[in-house]
Structure 1
């Protein structure tokens, strides 16, 4: 792959991913290849690579002979994703509490500062990206590449769910939760870090508006018929 093509591939990926986070691209939105080619000035091969990467990360669904659409997570998928993420992140934050250096903590403090600034200038795409990066940086500090790989995939899929279905106005709460986790890491308080991470992820899951997800309302409900 040529460097220019790789750059275009990343630009398409980032644009679609941030469109999801900013709620401009909602679940079910079609992503026609000809239109993407025209918008980004690239050939179909480049567009397809970007869409395949998005599909691998659970952001897009590739439908045979119908093209790509933004994924539509169900309640069941959401529960399973958060359940898996809770187990993985508890293990990672426990390891990070044991292995993080003072320099690592200082870097994470700077990350939280950037997060805070993005939150106060109402830059939702930047804030969402930084919030996800905070979790991934903790994962890197744990020193377990296998768990880190699992979390990277889970964070991508959670980002779609949160961007599309989280009720608005919770960024300050989430920022405070990140701060509490980091304080525990600095104190090498593994139990406290795990407890705060668990509470953070459970609170995030409760803010997901599952009533708007596919399959959350059956046909009987939509038609106003009492199934009993």
Structure 2
């Protein structure tokens, strides 16, 4: 279905707050009525988000015309993690949930996060499919990246000391894959990597 209304979010992150606006624009040649019923900030892979306390608003959105709905919220009570915005809207009465705008981080304490590269070079076997070679893990301040080689994209799941490590994004090109996830902490002692359809997990003691 052709997009009827474009809903984006532009914002700046300050030390204690996020300030910005939702930007609505008609994406076809017809006018549309848009109701923004609620908006929230939600951690990636986390439970339902925290409300932005944005009052419900109804807008008549015209083609090729930007309408701005400003917002501001505090991030001082958010834990370390990656967050995104969600809006419950109704476009001409049709309800949907949209996730406009880029994600932002509330950083982890610098001393708590692992950094550097962990060489792996171990293989995950897949039932009725090609194997997946885990090449290495790059550890950074706000994310970790699992680099692998395979004939086709692999659906990887990560757990550290029994707790799920949320995946942020995945990319694959020319038989090389990358899975970006939450950072690994210095307190983590063991990382487990599983692939959908795999015969068993890969368990890695963390140095």
Check whether TM > 0.5: no
Higher relative contact order (CA 8 A, sep 6+): 1
TM-score norm. by structure 2 comes to 0.28
Give the number of the structure whose residues are more often strand, by fraction. Answer: 2
Larger radius of gyration: 2
TM-score norm. by structure 1 comes to 0.26
